[in-house]
Structure 1
C-alpha cells in the first residue's frame, strides 16, 4: 500500500534481473520496493494523463514504457566517466488519475506534489508525463510546498498560452494558467525552440505582453542552444529562488522523435537537448523537471521514449556533478 494519498504503485512493475555483476542497469539502480526508507537524491513520478491533449495522444502510456526501457540502459556515462548508481534514486509510482475528470486529475497532481515535497524536502523530483497540461499543477504544487518565486525554462515548439475558455485546461494552456493564477510571473518564463506554423500571432502577442522571453528554432540555430540556456540561467537566476525545467519532447526534430502528437521539421537535435539537460541538472537553482508529450502508441521501436530516457540520464549526469562538487 502506498504511503501517499495521491501517488500509487504503477499498474505494471518490471522486476529487474541481475545477469552480470559488472553491469548495473537503470532498472536495478532505481529503487522500486515501495518502502521509501531513508533519504533519496532523486525520485521519479509518473503522471499518466493525456485525455487533456488537444489532439489525440497516447502520452498517458509514456510512464509505463519509460520504466520498461530502464533495463535497456546502464548507469554509466562514458563521456563523463560518471556512474549514476552512486546517487540514491527511487520510483515513487504514478499520480492517481480520475477516469474522466481532468480538473480532478490536475488537483491530484498538485496534491501529490505537495505530499512528495513535504515528505522528502531535499529530493530532486523527475516527473514523467503525460501531456503538457501536467506542468501547471506540478508547479502550483511546488509553489504551495516551497513558497518560493519559481521561474521556468520551457523547451517547446509551442507557446502553450491558449485561452482556457476554448476547450478548458489542455496541453496547450499550462503557461497561460500559471500566469493567470499568479503562480508564476510571465517575465519568469523562458521558452526555447518555438516553431513556425505551429503558433498564432495573437498568442505571440499575449506571451510577449506578459513578459515571456521567447526564442524560435531559427534563433536557437543562429545563437546556439547552449548559449541561450546559459543566458536563461543568468536571467532567471538573478530574480528567482528556484527554476523548473520542462521538456516538451516535440521541440526536437520529427526525425528524432516520431512518437509525439505534434511532429515537425527543423526541430532541435537530441545532442542539443542532452547538453542542455546536463547543464540544467548541474545548476543549483534547478528545482525539478518534467518530460511530456511522448506518445508510445505512435512511436517506432520506442525511439522517442529512448530519447526521453536519455534526456533523463543526461539531466542526472549534471545533477551528479552538482551533488559531488
Structure 2
C-alpha cells in the first residue's frame, strides 16, 4: 500500500471524460495483442501502467481525464477509431497494447486531416510489413492516405529489419534516423528535426513511442527489444518534447507486455514515466 502524504499528490486516478467538456490531456487504453507476430499479453499493459503510475507525483494542474480501455480493439478497429475520435482533448495519450494500437489512435485523431498529417515513430522496426499485424501500422497508415514524406522513423536498427523493408521506407519518402546516428546526436536535436518534417503539412502529428526502441536492459518487457537500443532517459525526453509541441495531437506508447516484465516492473515503470513526461510537456504549451 502506498503511503498517504498530503504534501505529495500522486498521479493517476483521473476522472472519466464528461460529454462536451474539453480536457488538456485524455488517456485511453488500447489493449491490442491479438495480431502480434510474437505471442504476447500486451493487452494487460494499460491496466498495469495505471496501477504503477500512482507511485509518481502529479506536478501539473492540467485537466486530465482517463477514458478507460477500449473493448477488444483488435476485433473492432473502427470502434477503437471512433472511441479516440470522440475524445475532446488537446492531447490524447494511448496506452498499448502492441503496435496495432498506432493505427486506431492516429486515424481517430487525424480524421479527414490525414492528407496533411505527420507521423513520428521511435522504433527499432520500420513496421511496413504486409498484412494486418503489429508489424504493419506504418504501411497501413500510408495506404490510408498518409504522405510518406511526412513520416520520420527514429532509432531504426538495420539488423532488425530486412533490406526489402528498408527499400520500402526509402521508396515511400520516409526519413530514417538509425540508432548509429543517435550516438552522436541528442534526442532534443533529433526530435526537433522530426517535428519539422512531420509538421510540414501544417496538420496534426501522431507520435508512436514503441518502447522496443530502448536497450533491452531497460525494457525487458518488450518482446522485440535488443541490446544497444536507446536509454530510458532518451525515450522520456522524446515523450516530453512531443507533449510540448502544439501540433502533436496524439501519442501512443506500445509494444510492452506487462506479463513478461522483470520482477521490478522496470518496463511498465518506464511507460508510466513517459506518460507523465508527455503530460509535463503538454503543460508547457
Q: TM-score range by the shorter chain?
A: over 0.9
Matches within 5 A, 1:241-280: 241-280=203-242
* Contact 1:259 1:304 (C-alpha < 8 Å) held by counterparts: yes
- Alignment match, 2:55: 72
- Is the counterpart of residue 31 in structure 1 residue 2 in structure 2? no
* Contact 1:192 1:216 (C-alpha < 8 Å) held by counterparts: yes
d(CA) in 1 for partners of 2:227, 2:45: 22
Higher radius of gyration, 1 or 2: 1
- Is the counterpart of residue 158 in structure 1 residue 125 in structure 2? yes
Work out which of the residue numbers 188, 196, 216 in structure 2 matches 1:234.
Answer: 196
* Contact 1:188 1:240 (C-alpha < 8 Å) held by counterparts: no
Dislocated runs of 4+, deviation >4 Å: 34-37, 145-148
After TM superposition, give the deviation of residue 231 of structure 1 in Å.
1.0
Matches within 5 A, 1:1-325: 19-28=4-13, 30-32=14-16, 38-75=21-58, 83-84=59-60, 86-97=61-72, 102=74, 104-116=75-87, 120=88, 122-144=89-111, 149-164=116-131, 169-182=132-145, 184-300=146-262, 301-322=264-285
| Partner secondary structure for residue 317 of structure 1 | helix
After TM superposition, give the deviation of residue 278 of structure 1 in Å.
1.3
d(CA) in 2 for partners of 1:113, 1:71: 24
Q: Which runs of 5+ in 2 are unaligned?
A: none
After TM superposition, give the deviation of residue 88 of structure 1 in Å.
0.9
Distance 1:145 1:26, change over 3 A: farther
After TM superposition, give the deviation of residue 147 of structure 1 in Å.
6.2
d(CA) in 1 for partners of 2:207, 2:27: 15
* Contact 1:36 1:90 (C-alpha < 8 Å) held by counterparts: no
d(CA) in 2 for partners of 1:88, 1:114: 18
* Contact 2:23 2:64 (C-alpha < 8 Å) held by counterparts: yes
- Alignment match, 1:78: none
* Contact 1:106 1:134 (C-alpha < 8 Å) held by counterparts: no
After TM superposition, give the deviation of residue 65 of structure 1 in Å.
0.2
| Partner secondary structure for residue 123 of structure 1 | strand
After TM superposition, give the deviation of residue 128 of structure 1 in Å.
0.3
Distance 1:209 1:35, change over 3 A: closer
d(CA) in 2 for partners of 1:218, 1:147: 31
d(CA) in 2 for partners of 1:196, 1:238: 27
d(CA) in 1 for partners of 2:210, 2:70: 19
Instruction: Give me the TM-score of the superposition, normalised by structure 1.
Output: 0.82
Instruction: Give me the TM-score of the superposition, normalised by structure 2.
Output: 0.93
Identify which range, 65-74 or 18-27, moves more after superposition: 18-27
